[in-house]
Amino acid sequence: MLTTSYREMLKHQFFGKEQREPVRPVPVVIRTKSDYLTPPATGLRATWIGWATVLVEIDGRTVLTDPIWSERCSPSTLIGPKRFHWPPIPLDELPQIDAVVISHDHYDHLDMATVRELGAGGTHFIVPLGVGAHLERWGIADAQIHELDWNESIAIRGLQITATPARHYSGRNPRHPSETLWASWVVKGPRHRFFFSGDSGYSDQFRIIGAKHGPFDLTLIKIGASDPSWADIHMTPEQAVQTNLDLRGRVMLPVHWATFNLAFHAWREPADRAVLAARNAGVALVIPKPGEFFEPGTGVLPHQVWW
């Protein structure tokens, strides 16, 4: 799966010269529950919380992707990658969450503390096969956990949510790798639909997903943590833009960058490369600040280069 040796990866990790963390604070737009009392005029609105976490309001319902509110994406609260910025809205200020979709069980995508707090409010979790066992151990009620295989769907509060293929791996313990499934997700409402890539390398599966489920009003596609040694499991920003084209996405929101130091590249590189690739491909790309929401259907998209 990896094209360079583990020793080379460790050498790059510890001795690389890239600017992997911001030198200034990441600008954050602070939100509270009151910001969500008025529904989006177009029926579709997205708030990038950070990393792969996005709050999507779609046709009267609200979906969270890969929610992580913890300070570190690590099994420890004392060591491990630490956030560049705090989430723009506290968990207890969120509007009602109708569904949470989880792409896989790595620590930067499946956060125990966040899942427990959301679960206490009765939220439904839609997860790939095997991931439900983690939630059960954390005290989430069986009725709130819905496990899907690729190409299986479930109806949740008027939304159709489908697990679709991705090219990645899983595991929270290196001694037990890839014992659970990973997935991308299609979420369809009565009027709108969006796609969430989770973590994935590039593959022809996205063209197949686009033909079957597209076009999409919004795509949430990962752009960070790309490297030649991870080509099979992490797409590049340029491949992310191509993925949007394959999916027939109308507006692309890049995710999986600018929150944790989990890559060999400079922290701002994914956004710079994605902007250039999108411009060359004629793709409508939006890179909001954390907490800055937008409605893809208005045509008025955040355009400030804040990074």
Q: What is the pLDDT of residues 244-256, one digit of tens each?
A: 999 999 999 999 9
Q: Kindly give, in sequence order, each residue whose CB lies less than 8 Å from that of residue 304, ignoring residues fewer than 6 positions away.
A: 289
Residue 77: CB atoms within 10 A of its CB come to 10
- 217-227 burial code (b ≥16 CB/10 A, e <16): bbbbbbbbbbb
- On whether residue 265 sits in a domain, the answer given is yes
The CATH number assigned to the domain holding 103 equals 3.60.15.10
Say how far apart CA 157 and CA 97 lie, in whole Å.
11
Say how far apart CA 168 and CA 103 lie, in whole Å.
10
| Confidence at 202, pLDDT banded by 50, 70, 90 | very high
| Two structure tokens written together for 233 | 């499991």
Q: For 170-196, what is the mean pLDDT?
A: 95
- On whether residue 304 sits in a domain, the answer given is no
Q: Kindly give, in sequence order, each residue whose CB lies less than 8 Å from that of residue 199, ignoring residues fewer than 6 positions away.
A: 52, 103, 104, 106, 109, 166, 168, 182, 222, 225, 233, 234, 256
Among 256, 274, 271, smallest CA distance to 104 is for 256
- On whether residue 55 sits in a domain, the answer given is yes
Say how far apart CA 148 and CA 181 lie, in whole Å.
9
Domains held by the chain: number: 1
3-class SS at 160? strand
Is 271's pLDDT higher than 50? yes
- On whether residue 7 sits in a domain, the answer given is no
Q: What is the pLDDT of residue 175?
A: 84
When the pLDDT of each residue in the chain is averaged and rounded to a whole number, the result is 95
Q: What angle do CA 44, 48, 51 make, to 5 degrees?
A: 140
- On whether residue 305 sits in a domain, the answer given is no
- On whether residue 10 sits in a domain, the answer given is no
- On whether residue 33 sits in a domain, the answer given is yes
Is 4's pLDDT higher than 90? no
- On whether residue 234 sits in a domain, the answer given is yes
Q: What is the pLDDT of residue 174?
A: 84
Query: Could you give the dihedral angle defined by the CA atoms of residues 255, 304, 217 and 253, in that order, rounded to the nearest 10 degrees?
Result: -10
Write out the residue range of the structural domain in which residue 159 sits.
Answer: 17-298
